[in-house]
Amino acid sequence: MKSSWFHLFSSLRKHFFYILIPLFFLGLTFVNPSYAILDTKESDYRQFSFINSRTVIWITAQLHLMLAAFVLGVPLFVVIIEYIGSLKKEARYDKMAKEFMALCMTAFSFTALTGGLLLFCLIALYPTFISYLTDIFFPVMITYGLLFIFETVFLYIYYYSWEILQTHKKVHIFLGVILNVIGLFIMALSNSWATFMMSPGGVNMDTGKLISLWGAINNFTWMPMNIHRLIANVAFGGALVGGYAAIRFIYSTSDEERVHYDWMGHNGFFIAISGLIPLPFAGYWMGKEIYEYNQAMGIRMMGDLFSWLFIIQAGMIGVLFISSNYYLWCRAERVEGSSLYRQVRPWLISVLIICIAVWITPHTLFGMKNTMSSHHPVLGVLGIMSAKNTAVNLLIFITFLSFFLYLKNGNKEESEKSVSNGEWIIIAITILSVITIGLLGYTKEYSGDIRVNFLTPLQVFIVLSAIVMLLVSFFFHKKKTENEKQNIKWGDMPERSQYILILIAVTFTSLMGLMGYARSGIRENWHVYSLMPDNSANSFTPTLGVAMNTIALILVIYFVILWFIFWLNTLRK
Amino acid sequence: MGTKIFKATSIFFMLYAFFGFIFSLPEFLFSWSMWFIFCSFITIIFFREARVGAFILFIIWGYSFAGNIIPQQEFRKKSIKDVKRNAELFIRAGKEIFNGKGMCYLCHSIGPSRKARCPDLLKASREAGMRKAGYSAKEYFIESLYKPDAYIVQGYSNIMPPIWKPPISLTPLEIETVIAYVQSLSGDAVDLTPFVPPVDLGGKDGKNESDQEVLTGDPIRGKDIFESGKGKCLACHKVFGKGGEGEDGKGETIGPDLSEIAKINTINYLKESVLSPNMKITAGYAFVDFRTKEDLRVEGKVIKEDSASIIVLSDEAKIEREFRKSDIEVRELLSPLDFDDPVTKGYFWVKGSLKNGAQFEGELISDEGESLIVGVKKEKVLKKEVASLQGRRIRRYSKMPEYGHVLSVNEFNDLLTYLVTLKGNGV
């Protein structure tokens, strides 16, 4: 017991460097705020001789974001898994939760390193801009620094007290909850200046002077970004640990290992898919707020320069949905009594493909503007929001159905009816309602306002309600048949299913990289949109090819770091 | 040993091809991709240890490749810094702004489109000229572009942002070129008349952009333009005792002395005088052109003038002659509705009849838009009631050319910046 506490404090001492970073922010309290000149000149920037400043910031910031998303996302579900383990009194949950946290610990160090590197690069390369941002968010940055110290302390206490507090599980879970609450605040605070750059608020738009700090924090895109990142972090963390488990499964040398990592991968996958299902809704809200803030920015994003980017994004999400469904189908093959699931599978596949095809149909394509129309003459019908919202809602609902049918079938004998009539009625009404509302969007009677503020939320509400009703029905039914257990053959999954988990993890990461570029890119030639212009030599939007290549480079660096983290984790054992 | 070398070679070439793909020029992407696919497939098929790594690399390559095969467009906000006041150049520049920095094409269609968010602009120029009485198409466009909520076309909502403000931030010149482009779409003649933005561009912090536009010119370059460049103003105007003697240095002074011009006049007056010299002609420097009852055409400088007569120094004979204004030819005005601002056109006396048969005759005092004020009794004559109209006219003009057609926008700014320094105490 004593040695464990000693180990905890010696670990804190060893990681003293990371505590220095928030202290740097504290040091800023002695800096006298003076408002920067909003008109930047080319001499306000510094350059490396061998690489341009923007690429340096791009790579560093994106790496930091990806690592931070992992570090903030994993503890969210680790606490839940630990709680489930304590309720079920099953040691394997506890073991898995601790293994996830072990990955998180090493990743935390790299997050702090890349964060420090990003900060120094910003100060060195974009001094005028970072000075202005510091002027505006001075108190927020101080709070961020303090919270970072608390996060560090609680993270180490939470992890290193795991064994000590085995007999006091509630205390340990409580520590995990505090850790997550601090993590959420850290994420929300850093989102404030990131979103301020996109949709500034709380400042005089002529002089840039601060009028209300809360206005600057709570700008148009802050809350949608918080929600979107929170959900995405969970999905991303789940996908990555799923990918980790898949690699361990592929290279496992014993049946015991295969069973453990199959189960771990399965859980990682379910965490990822639980985040993936509501993520498009959060994305829609975010997009809507961008339009509300500035039409020009919204149009630029969805219908112009970034239209192709969103087609690639839709393609990637399509890959995520199809591969998620494929993994579920592979899993269902290993569950006795999944005949109904096999019967409906072709229908599910067809609907999925149609929905993805509609989703990737563009509204207006940059590079096709010489057609002298703001809509494509043939595909324009599928490019509008009514079609896309219907496709996305159906895509989400079908994926949920896949998941639902998998759950239902696992509990039944082949001959037994697994989905009740009531549940079929809910499914049918939901699909018909979503399609009907989608078609109503084409009629002239409904203005844009009604479509955006009533019809689309109604579609989302119907899908979410149906999901909740079906889940309630499932759990109610399950309670009545508690003695029935899913007869899952763990460790018996084909290797290709594990590559699907890796594909999901890599696609999630690629998607994050792509959307990071989109979020930055839609600001165009502004550090702070409409307020502080970027007059550096790199103040232009690169081609999507260049962007994708840069993202590929970032991903390679990121996966090398992850590989190093995973390798360290194997050494620990 | 051989297997190890094969494995190492395969992995090396896979990585080499991958980084070659990332850093290569677009024209070599396919070549690098072929190599990468080949090497990664070999690694995936033959080497279990490196299979996962190769698979991850393959996915990353796949997405990157997808991003490279779609149409590529690098976007830099191109601004129009300067352009000569010429219809063709304005249209070309306007088209670039329309499809680029201005982002107009995103919402406006050119030709009918059921789904466009904003009005079709193909025939907009013709419709614009008729939408508000007394407004030319250009004036209507100017007001619509600076104040997008001023006129909302029926069936469309008020979604257009003020394009002169950030983030679009079109300059007055860019807005003017866009108007020229839109006018050209309907086949109409492009109106190149300069304009003053109808809004305070600078906001509350005193950064008045219209003033900035003037003051950011280079006075040294402006002086060059004034003295010896395109302007050649010194040929007609005197400044601090220099110039005003004709191009050959022997002529007469035909323009006023400008040594104190900025001391007594506003910037807008200077702007207007350079761009449209006929709008306000300094007393003593006006030239006239009229015909007498005997069909004699008279052209020359006004020496003296009162309500009954005018003394003109003729251009050719260089002699002074006095004419009674009642001896000037009476011209028929075919349609009173075409009688647009007759005072500016030089009509000083009118005679006509109304639809109800009543007659009127006398000095034309002023034009009130819908009516004319005529005679010593200041009789109000409604234009729409006029059945026939005749008038006497003296066209007045300045010999100064309209420099908007001679100078580029930046040259004009330089010249103006020089002129505002002429306050009687040297440059």
Going by C-beta distance under 8 Å and a sequence separation of 6 or more, which residues neighbour residue A167? none
Residue A500 pLDDT: 95
> At residue A190, what is the residue type?
S
Task: Name the least confident of A171-175, A323-327, B88-92, B416-420.
Answer: B416-420
Q: Is A384 on the interface with B (CB under 8 A)?
A: yes
Nearest residue to A79 via CA among A150, A158, A5, A151? A158
On chain A, the residues whose CB falls within 8 A of the CB of B164 are none
**Number of Cα atoms under 13 Å in the Cβ half of residue B163:** 25
**Chain B residue with Cα closest to A495:** B52
- Of A121-135, B167-181, B281-295, the range with the lowest mean pLDDT is B281-295
* Cα separation, B129 vs A188, whole angstroms: 53
Tokens of B415: 């010249």
- The stretch B314-321 carries a mean pLDDT of 78
DSSP B260: T
pLDDT, one tens digit per residue, over A179-196 is 999 999 999 999 999 999
Q: Which of A309, A316, A372 is most worth mutating to test chain B (most B CB atoms within 10 A of its CB)?
A: A372
Q: How many CB atoms lie within 10 A of CB B4?
A: 8
A30 Cβ partners below 8 Å, 6+ apart? Answer: none
Please tell me whether residue B361 adopts helix, strand or coil conformation.
strand
Share of chain A above pLDDT 70, in %: 83
CA distance B48 to chain A (A): 9
Q: What sections of A201-335 are H helices per DSSP?
A: 213-217, 222-250, 255-276, 279-293, 295-303, 307-333
Tokens matching residue A329 = 């189908």
- Cβ of A545 within 8 Å of Cβ of B110? The answer is no
A298: pLDDT strictly greater than 70: yes
Q: Read off φ and ψ for residue B425, nearest 5 degrees.
A: -125, 30
Q: Tell me: the pLDDT tens digits for A28-83?
A: 444 444 443 456 666 678 888 788 899 999 999 999 999 999 999 999 999 999 99
Amino acid found at B180: A
Cis bond leading into B167, ω under 30°? Answer: yes
Instruction: Using a CB–CB cutoff of 8 Å, tell me whether B72 touches chain A.
Output: yes
**Mind telling me how many Å the CA of A544 is from chain B's nearest CA?**
6
Q: Is A538 helix (H, G, I), strand (E, B) or coil?
A: coil
Q: What interface predicted TM-score (ipTM) does this complex get?
A: 0.85
Closest partner residue to B161 (CB to CB) among A295, A524, A544 is: A295
d(CA B373, CA A261): 98
Chain B touched by A524 (CB under 8 Å): yes
Mean pLDDT of B274-279: 80
Q: How far apart are CA B11 and CA B15, in angstroms?
A: 6
For position B209, what pLDDT does the model report? Answer: 40
- Closest CB to A374 among B26, B117, B168: B117
> Chain B contact for A490, CB < 8 A?
no
Q: What average pLDDT does the segment B340-347 reach?
A: 75
Asked if B161's CB is within 8 angstroms of A374's CB, the reply is no
pLDDT given at position B249: 58
**DSSP notation for A461-518:** HHHHHHHHHHHHHHHHHHHHTTT----B-TT---HHHHHHHHHHHHHHHHHHHHHHHH
Find where tokens 């022997």 sit.
Answer: B250
pLDDT category of residue A132 using cuts at 50, 70 and 90: very high
**Closest Cβ–Cβ partner in A206, A296, A525 for B204:** A206
Indicate yes or no: CB of B71 within 8 angstroms of CB of A367: yes
- A115: closest CA of chain B, how far (Å): 24
pLDDT digits (tens, 9 = 90+) for A13-29: 555 555 555 555 555 44
Inter-chain touch B167–A297, beta carbons under 8 Å: yes
Q: Which residue has the higher pLDDT, B111 or A546?
A: A546
| Across A325-352, average pLDDT | 78
Contact call for A556 and B57, based on CB within 8 A: yes
Q: Please report, for residues B308, B371, B386, the alpha-carbon distance to residue B365 in angstroms, rounded to integers and kept in the order given.
A: 14, 11, 17
What percentage of residues in chain B have a pLDDT greater than 70?
90
Which residue has tokens 């088209």?
A: B95
Tokens read off for B29? 């992407």
Residue B263 sits at the chain A interface (C-beta within 8 Å): no
Interface test with A, best of B28, B29, B64 (most A CBs within 10 A): B64
Query: What per-residue confidence (pLDDT) applies to A9?
Result: 54
In B, which residues are within 8 Å of A447 by CB distance? 157
Give the span between the Cα atoms of B115 and B74, in whole angstroms: 27
Each residue of A367-395: pLDDT tens digit? Answer: 554 444 445 666 667 777 788 889 989 98
- Distance (Å) from the C-alpha of residue A86 to the closest C-alpha of chain B? 35
Q: Where residue B41 falls among pLDDT bands split at 50, 70, 90?
A: very high
Partners of A549 on chain B (C-beta within 8 Å) are: 21-23, 64, 67-68
Q: Is B77 in contact with A544 (Cβ distance < 8 A)?
A: no
**B:45-64 residues touching chain A, CB 8 A cutoff:** 51-53, 55-57, 59-61, 63-64
Q: Is the pLDDT of residue B159 over 90?
A: no
Higher pLDDT, A485 or B401: B401
Using CA atoms, how far residue B94 sits from A373, B140, B145, B172, B296, in Å, is 18, 17, 14, 12, 46
Question: From CA B94, how far away is CA A137, in angstroms rounded?
Answer: 40
Find the range with the poorest average confidence among A321-325, B245-249, B353-357.
Answer: B245-249
Neighbours of B384 (CB within 10 A): 9
- Rounded to whole angstroms, the Cα distance separating B176 from B213 reads 15
CB proximity A366 to B under 8 Å? yes
The pLDDT of residue B200 is 60
3-state secondary structure string, A167-199? HCHHHHHHHHHHHHHHHHHHHHHHHHHHHHHHC
Is the pLDDT at B373 greater than 50? The verdict is yes
- Select from B115, B106, B235, B92 the least CA-distant residue to B161: B106
In B, residues 264-323, which contact A (CB 8 Å cutoff)?
none
Count of pairs with CB atoms under 8 A, one residue in A, one in B:
148
Does the beta-carbon distance from A544 to B52 stay under 8 Å?
A: no
The helix/strand/coil state of A357 is helix
Q: Do B168 and A296 touch (CB under 8 A)?
A: yes
Give the tens place of pLDDT for each residue, A106-122.
899 899 999 999 999 99
Task: Give the gap in angstroms from C-alpha A368 to the nearest C-alpha of chain B.
Answer: 9
Mean pLDDT of B198-219: 52
Average pLDDT of A309-329? 89
pLDDT at position A525: 86
Per-window interface: B 193-232 vs A, CB < 8 A? 203-205, 207
**Contacting residues of A for B113, CB less than 8 Å apart:** 373-375
- Contact between B71 and A547 using a beta-carbon 8 Å cutoff: no
Query: Which of B107, B109, B115 comes nearest A372 by C-beta?
Result: B109
Task: With beta carbons less than 8 A apart as the criterion, state whether A219 and A195 touch.
Answer: yes
Model pTM score: 0.72
Top residue of B40, B49, B63 to mutate, by most chain A CBs within 10 Å, is B63
Min Cα distance B64 → chain A (Å) is 5
Q: What is the mean pLDDT of chain A?
A: 84
How do B287-291 and B297-305 pair as beta strands? antiparallel
Residue indicated by tokens 């008020």: B158
Judging contacts by C-beta atoms under 8 Å, the chain B residues touching residue A539 are 76
Would you call A294 and B167 a contact, using CB atoms and an 8 Å cutoff? yes
Half-sphere exposure of B49 (CA within 13 A, CB side): 6
Greater confidence, B152 or A219? A219
- Beta bridge partners, A317, equal none
Decide: helix, strand or coil at residue B303. Answer: strand
Q: What is the mean pLDDT of residues B37-57?
A: 91
Neighbours of B34 (CB within 10 A): 12
Residues 91-110 of B with CB under 8 A from A: 99, 103, 105-110
Q: Tokens for B240, please give them.
A: 């601090």
pLDDT at residue number A31: 44
- Choose between B40 and B126: higher pLDDT: B40
Asked if residue A139 has pLDDT above 50, the reply is yes
pLDDT tens for A421-453 read: 888 899 999 999 999 988 887 776 666 667 777
pLDDT tens digits for range A455-470: 888 888 999 899 999 9
Res B61: pLDDT: 96
pLDDT of residue A562: 92
Q: Among A497-506, A546-555, B163-172, B362-371, whose mean pLDDT is lowest? A: B362-371
Between chains, do B66 and A296 touch, taking CB under 8 Å as contact? no
What gap in Å lies between CA A406 and CA A324, rounded to an integer? Answer: 12
